[in-house]
Amino acid sequence: MCIKLKDQSVKTKVYSTFESPVLILDTQYLILNTMNNNYDKIANHYDTLSRLVFFKSQVNAQVNQLQYLPKDSSVLIVGGGTGWILEEIAKIYPSGLKLVYVEISAKMIALSQKRNCKSNQVEFVNLGIEDFGTDIVFDVILTPFLFDNFAEQRAAKVFDQLNEYLKKDGLWFLVDFSLNKNNGNWWKWLLLKSMYSFFKLLGIVEANQLIDMHVYFLNEGYKILERRMYYGDFIKAVIFKK
């Protein structure tokens, strides 16, 4: 069980008995959560599983977006998984980029550190993005298949945080599953439910449903530069400009 304090100054008392744990909470800031979306448990198999189910769709959706990366830019990657994207980025720009790679899973970070990033500068940060602070304002932010792990409250908070870290006119590469009344076939609902059940069984993912992040971007005045759909419109890749 993970008990995460958002505000370290807040007092909290935790008592437990043999029968059941009793929590006395002094604050609404305490998040009690057994699932924090950390992919440690499946880090070594994640890419194989992804390719088995989605073939190369998850990869293609992200690789296509890389043509929008400006030369010599500063890039924040959140939830990059095993780090294969770093090698794809290095194929386009072998040098000149300043990358910050924030990943909550220590195993994913270890795999990512083995990637060939050529001469780009990469800072690996093994933290949940919620706990990552920076003074840098980035040219580009990548969140590939990040938000579909989150419950609404966390998604909203992380969006606000990342919005602060992105320059005016900066680009945000969003890739996520997409399912709504307009594009919802039975197999997508079934697949989505199966995925959430699988990750719940492993105790990884907190979300029960997809959050529509689109409205967050539109409310903040982002413009869409490109929107592409993959895997029968089940995967949505959007380039937003702030």
Ligand X SMILES: C[S@@+](CC[C@H](N)C(=O)[O-])C[C@H]1O[C@@H](n2cnc3c(N)ncnc32)[C@H](O)[C@@H]1O
In whole angstroms, the minimum distance from the beta carbon of 142 to ligand X comes to 8
Question: Rounded to 5 degrees, what angle do the CA atoms 164, 169, 174 make?
Answer: 70
* Secondary structure (DSSP) of the chain: -EEEESSTTS-EEEEE-SS-EEEEES-TTEEEES-----GGGTTTHHHHHHHHHTTHHHHHHHHHGGGPPTT-EEEEES-TTSHHHHHHHHH-SSS-EEEEE-S-HHHHHHHHTS--TT-EEEEE-S-GGG---S--EEEEEEET-GGGS-HHHHHHHHHHHHHHEEEEEEEEEEEE---TTT--HHHHHHHHHHHHHHHHTT----SS---THHHHHHTT-EEEEEEEETTTTEEEEEEE-
- Note whether 105 binds ligand X by CB under 6 A: yes
Q: Which of 22, 49 has the CB closer to ligand X?
A: 49
Q: Which of 97, 237 has the CB closer to ligand X?
A: 237
In whole angstroms, the minimum distance from the beta carbon of 237 to ligand X comes to 11
Among 101, 117, 128, 236, binds ligand X (CB under 6 A): 128
- Note whether 80 binds ligand X by CB under 6 A: yes
In whole angstroms, the minimum distance from the beta carbon of 99 to ligand X comes to 14
**Count of residues engaged in binding ligand X, rule: CB under 6 A:** 21
Among 75, 97, 122, 129, binds ligand X (CB under 6 A): 129
Q: Which of 7, 19 has the CB closer to ligand X?
A: 7
Q: Which of 129, 166 has the CB closer to ligand X?
A: 129
- Note whether 102 binds ligand X by CB under 6 A: yes
- Note whether 83 binds ligand X by CB under 6 A: no
Contacting ligand X within 56-75 (CB under 6 A): 58
Binding site for ligand X (CB under 6 A): 37-39, 50, 58, 78-81, 102-105, 108, 128-130, 144-146, 149
